[in-house]
Chains A and B, each alone.
Chain A
Amino acid sequence: MKIFHLLILLFCLTHTLPAQTKLQGWVRDAQGQGLVGANVYLKNTLDGATTDSTGFFRFVTRQIRQDTLVLSLIGYESRIQKIDLRQAENLQLTLAEEAGVLQTVLITAGYFEASDAKKAVLLKPLDIVRTASANGDLFGALQTLPGVQRVGESEGLFVRGGSATESKTMIDGLVVQNPFFSDLPDVSTRSRFSPFLFKGTAFSTGGYSAQFGQALSSVLNLQSEDLPAQSNLNLFASHLTWAATGTQRWHNTSLALTGSFTHVGLANALVPQNIDWIRPFQGGGGSAIFRHRFGERDMLKAFANYSHTRVGFYVPDFDGQKTAFTLQNHNFYQNATYAWTQGAWQWQTGLSYGYDQDQIQTGEQSIWREATHQQGRTVGIVELSEKHSLLIGGEWQWQDFGDGFGSFSNRMQEVLGAVFWEDEAYLGKGLAARVGLRAEYSGYLQRFNLAHRLSLAYKTSPNSQVSLALGEFFQNPERPYLYENAGLRFEKAYHYILNYQWQHKGYTFRAEGYLKNYRQLVRERMPNRFLPGFDRRIEGPLDNSGRGYATGLDVFWRDNEGTFENVDYWVSYSFVHAERLYQNFPTWATPEFVSQHNLNVVYKHFIRALSLDCNLTYSYASGRPYYAPNATPFLSGRTPDFHNLSLGLNYLTSLWGQNTIVIFSINNVLNYKQVFGYRFSADGQQRAPVHPATFRSFFLGLSMTLL
């Protein structure tokens, strides 16, 4: 009897232990492909399995109440699903690709970012330095991107039929008034800042955020580096420049000091010059960079830079005469930013101050130019939800300009205030939108403007998307016009941009068509004659009746180790058609800085075995218009096409146990005789071509880092 009871007890026990249930099925993606490696399990239990290469899974459970299945896999949205445990032997489950990583729809119209912080960017910060034709100049590398024109005789960014004054350069959102060394007649100068100061570069060729204003064509926002990795001493020597940077890193603080000296006399002696130098470009300067981190994220950054440069050469006037031109420049720039978080808000406040002074001697005449610029700016960003973010901010700029010669002088002060608001939202079904408004007031013009900006992006497939950007952009007239007439209005541009982008593994294809309409451009109403060139005098009464347009197509292809290991190349092509009736143009014409076709092929190959980085760049630009006094129609002449092939070699090695990079580059390897335009004699009968300072030239440098 006892045994009988015990049997009953055992019988009961086994029966109250739940029976095993078998679960099996498939996990697939939206296209029906089986997904390998997915984690499938019953919620709050250990019962689960990983899918095999066909997406199949199988496991058993003793659970009877838990009927919630959890699915997760990298790159896919995790999901939970109720199932019927009695019918769980043929489960058909699907996972949707995650909205993060590469799948996000990003507003890409008009934007080229070089950064490592964001996913799916087209360029990395080092790509800039590794572009052969750039010669280590940030702007030289940007010139290989679609939409940027090659204008060899001037510095600056000429974007999509726009002039260099229509592009603004900023560091952490604060305007840099003089990113380049002083403008010289028919000679382009380099930018002042080392590309190594920046961790990221956001370059917009149009349709940019409401955060930015006072630029009709383009903005370049450079993001400064955070705390350096470690203390070190960097020594740089080349046949042009000597520099030393000492960096000290404490726990949450760092300080870096740089001193540099440049003298191009040696370089000029080694390579045939197209310019008759009086005093080869020389200068010296120093900079200081301070960083302090508060807590986990809050950061104070300060940067100051001073330089003094001198240069002199003879400017030919093609009547057998030559005029001595010498220039001396002092430049100081400093900025400080503080970034902090407050609740869900991320704030950044910045202050900047810049002073620039030129003293020019041309022939018998002494000319001076002076400019001071101050700016304050605050921006706050909040993520209202995962799919909705808001940006608000304001800025204030104060400018003081002056120039003159002899007893004649100009002087003016401008105060610009702006507030902006931008709302970015993911609307679902692969559609994202960004709406912005920017209101500006100019104290000098005593006018308001209100700019509307709109961008849309739509995901057409997991690897491709279409975006659209529309916007209004305002800018003050150029300084010489402002001196003449304070009654002018803002110059204005409308951008219409349609962009298609496809990215897969290491490949990127991008095509962007655009139309840019210019309105309210300044016109000189007495164009009895057109005078080209440097330091032209303004003639006649001014008004804002000028207009113009630029329309074109930019194409970009990049293969970043998609096909060949350690090889990265990109090809950019731009077509632009642009005409204007502005300034002292007597009729509609294509401005001198516009070339219809621009092509760049940038090739980079890192040979690991030799520690050698080889870079090649080929650039082509079709002929640009030039002014000939007696030619009709106006600006109808075209210069010969521009070709340039550059080679850069960076060799990583160790000298005396210290990390060393030997940099060697040849610009214009094939020694093309590039022509940027023509200058005519006073009677218009004689002409002489404008060439670059040198045709083929080389650079040899050595950078050594001591710990």
Chain B
Amino acid sequence: MKKSLILLAILIGMQVAAWAQSADYPALMTQTLDAMQTAASPTDYQEAANRFERLAALQADAWLPNYWAAYCYTLMSYMAEKETEKDQFADKALAFFDKMKAARIENDETWVLRAYIAQARLSADPMNRWRTDGVMFQECLGKARAINPQNPRIDLLQGQNLLYTPEGFGGGAKNACPHLRQAEQKFGVFVPASAHHPNWGKEYIHEILSACAE
């Protein structure tokens, strides 16, 4: 009786340990997303990216950790100063995107992310890259739009890109603002599938819309 009880206890104990590990996943996702939201420096983003990378390594079939790791590196690419560093971060972001693509995870959000990476590369050297990364940016947004035209981040990126494009190349506030207003509208009704799903850009759209205030 005693022996079987102890055996049972051991079994339960092992079960608990395993359960604790997998129970960590949603909690850690939430925790890391919170940390990312309050991140202020590239170091904070690196910390978050590293956690997402660990989560991604463990949950091979889950696209969200890969998505967020790529997102962190894209932001870091924007934050870096030198072109070579910007490219290193963008390449790393691309590696996570490629992992998702290899696992056949393709949806509107992943294509928006791919466009965002292209935009990061483009902004590092716009004069030399608008013909390569600029084209990639448009193509990826096109793919995202074909899947889900209601995704507000498509219009956000499109508008943001136009805002920083010279007017004569079809950019400038005049051309950007209709997209940004569309984005604002779509953000108004957008509901992410879960707390872990992409939901960025909502605060930024208000900030960037100030450029459209007459």
Contact = CB atoms under 8 A, between A and B. Distances in A.
Interface in A618-675: 652-655, 657-660
Given A5-B5, A12-B13, A657-B167, A36 B43 contact: yes
B82 A505 contact: yes
A101 interface: yes
Nearest to B32: A46
A39 B12 contact: no
A37 B46 contact: yes
A74 B88 contact: yes
A15 B169 CA distance: 69
B168 A705 contact: yes
Nearest to B88: A74
A5 to B, nearest CB: 7
B61 interface: no
Contacts of B2: 8
- Identify whether the interface residues of B are mostly helix, strand, loop, or mixed: helix
Contact of B17 (A17, A652, A653, A657): A17
A657 B168 contact: yes
A70 B6 contact: no
Contacts of B50: 37, 39, 41, 48-50
B43 A72 contact: no
Interface in B78-133: 82, 84, 87-89, 92, 125, 127-132
A18 B18 CA distance: 11
Contacts of A45: 21, 54, 58
Given A18-B17, A116-B132, A230-B138, A659 B5 contact: no
Contacts of A102: 84
A9 B9 contact: yes
A39 B6 CA distance: 39
A17 B168 contact: no
A101 B134 contact: no
Interface string B25-47: 10010000000000000010011
A17 B128 CA distance: 58
Nearest to A42: B54
A450 interface: no
Contact of A17 (B16, B46, B166): B16
Interface in B149-203: 166-170
Given A13-B9, A227-B135, A46 B28 contact: yes
B106 to A, nearest CB: 13
B10 interface: yes
B55 A124 contact: no
Given A16-B9, A37-B43, A50-B50, A229 B135 contact: yes
Given A5-B5, A48-B54, A72-B53, A659 B135 contact: no
Contacts of A48: 50-51, 54
A11 to B, nearest CB: 8
Nearest to B28: A46
Contacts of B125: 116, 124
Contacts of A227: 135
A125 B5 contact: no
A707 B128 contact: no
B125 to A, nearest CB: 7
Contact of B58 (A46, A225, A228): A46
Contacts of A46: 21, 24-25, 28, 54-55, 58
A634 B201 CA distance: 76
B54 A41 contact: yes
B7 to A, nearest CB: 9
B166 to A, nearest CB: 5
A17 B12 CA distance: 9
Contacts, number: 122
Interface in A36-70: 36-37, 39, 41, 43-46, 48-50, 53, 62, 70
B57 interface: yes
Contact of B128 (A37, A124, A506): A124
> Which of B14, B88, B131 has the most A CB atoms < 10 Å from its CB?
B131
A116 B122 CA distance: 11
A116 B138 contact: no
Nearest to B139: A251
B92 A659 contact: no
A70 B57 contact: yes
In this complex, the interface size class of chain B, counting residues with CB under 8 Å from chain A, is: 35 or more
Contacts of A70: 57
B92 A74 contact: yes
A89 interface: no
A657 B84 CA distance: 34
A99 interface: no
Contacts of B89: 74
A96 interface: no
A229 B130 contact: yes
Interface string B50-83: 1101110110000000000000000000000010
Interface string A234-278: 000000000000000000000000000000000000000000000
B111 to A, nearest CB: 15
A423 interface: no
B99 to A, nearest CB: 13
Contacts of A505: 82, 84
Contacts of A18: 17
A50 B47 contact: yes
A229 B138 contact: yes
A526 to B, nearest CB: 55
A682 interface: no
B10 A16 contact: yes
A199 B131 contact: yes
B38 to A, nearest CB: 16
B11 to A, nearest CB: 9
Nearest to A98: B88
Given A13-B16, A48-B50, 17 more contacts: A8-B6, A13-B13, A16-B9, A16-B14, A17-B13, A39-B54, A46-B24, A48-B51, A62-B17, A116-B129, A117-B132, A229-B135, A230-B170, A505-B82, A652-B166, A654-B166, A707-B169
14 contacts: A5-B5, A12-B10, A36-B43, A39-B49, A44-B58, A46-B28, A48-B51, A72-B53, A74-B92, A75-B88, A229-B138, A659-B166, A705-B168, A707-B170
Interface of A: 5, 8-9, 12-13, 15-18, 36-37, 39, 41, 43-46, 48-50, 53, 62, 70, 72, 74-75, 101-102, 116-117, 119, 124-126, 199, 225-230, 505-506, 652-655, 657-660, 704-705, 707
Q: Which 3 residue pairs spanning A and B have beta carbons closest together?
A: A659-B168, A16-B13, A12-B9
